[in-house]
Chains A and B, each alone.
Chain A
């Protein structure tokens, strides 16, 4: 049963536009993540938050900015999208402050940049 909810599930936009993805988890977890999955299925971590605090910030273009209002929510904004941003963006959460790293994923948000 899904407990990590992402919106929207699909988004098509043009180069230069801004897009936002929202994520909410109802598992009571304290750690949330954004991963990017490209067309070759490669999964790469982008950001990780512990209870609203940014913990992991991989080498990601500055046009990407995460935002967390509380430990149950983590959003991702892309300021001016580029063609290479076309991918599936996956939100995940984990309990115990991410100590073990066992992740629970949302269904993903597929971004297509024309």
Chain B
């Protein structure tokens, strides 16, 4: 069964610095999709960035980028030039590509606090 693990419960950084959040996953499938989502204090969950397993290039969107290390089953999220409004809970998630189970599994989340 697929599994997503985020070991960092909470991280604090000073604004304008770079932060990396870790995520490792388990899957038996050769094709899968990895995501990072952000949940703000209001409870809203928004999609940030996605990595397709067959792509070697790390995905980048704005000041979010991924560190995809397939041999290590690792997909880290890097936020550069952090801002106060980046303070939120960040979830790593995975969808196996096989079949039409439409099942997306989430990690336990990492709470990021960006301090002035």
* Known pairs A42-B108, A50-B102, A56-B103; A101 contacts B93 (CB<8 A): yes
B44 at the interface (CB under 8 A from A): yes
Flag B85-116 by CB within 8 Å of A: 1 or 0 each.
00001010111010011111110110000000
Contacts of A48 in B (CB 8 A): 101-103
Residues of A within 8 A of B60 (CB): none
A45 touches B100 (CB 8 A): no
- The complex places the Cα of A105 from the Cα of B89 at a distance, in Å, of 15
Q: Given the known inter-chain contacts A100-B50, A101-B93, please indicate yes or no for A41 contacting B39, CB distance below 8 A.
A: yes
Q: How far is the CB of A43 from chain B (nearest CB, A)?
A: 4
B71 at the interface (CB under 8 A from A): no
Tally of contacts, chain A with chain B, CB under 8 A: 69
Interface size class of A (residues with CB under 8 A): 20 to 34
Given A103-B47, A105-B46, A43-B101 contact (CB < 8 Å): no
Q: Which residue of A lies closest to B96 (CB)?
A: A101
Interface pair A50/B100, CB less than 8 Å apart: yes
Contact with B along A99-112 (1 / 0, CB 8 A): 11111110110000
Q: Are B100 and A97 in contact (CB-based, < 8 A)?
A: yes
A33 within 8 A of B: yes
The docked-state distance in angstroms from the alpha carbon of A50 to that of B42 is 29
Pairwise interchain contact A90-B33, C-beta atoms closer than 8 A: no
Question: Which chain A residues numbered 49 to 104 have a C-beta less than 8 Å away from chain B?
Answer: 50, 55-56, 88, 90, 94, 97-104
Inter-chain CA distance A48–B101, complex, in Å, is 8
**A41 with B109, Cβ < 8 A, contacts A100-B33, A103-B47, A105-B46 known:** yes
- Are the CB atoms of A43 and B47 closer together than 8 Å? no
Determine if A31 is an interface residue (Cβ-Cβ < 8 Å): yes
- Name which residue of chain A comes closest to B107, CB basis: A43
> Considering the complex of A and B, which 10 residue pairs feature the smallest CB-CB distances, nearest first?
A101-B95, A98-B102, A43-B106, A105-B45, A101-B104, A48-B102, A100-B33, A55-B102, A41-B109, A56-B103
Which residues does A use to contact B, with CB under 8 Å? 31, 33, 40-45, 48, 50, 55-56, 88, 90, 94, 97-105, 107-108
**8 extra interface residue pairs, beta carbon distance < 8 Å, beyond A33-B102, A42-B106, A101-B94:** A43-B109, A48-B101, A55-B102, A97-B100, A98-B95, A101-B102, A105-B45, A107-B43
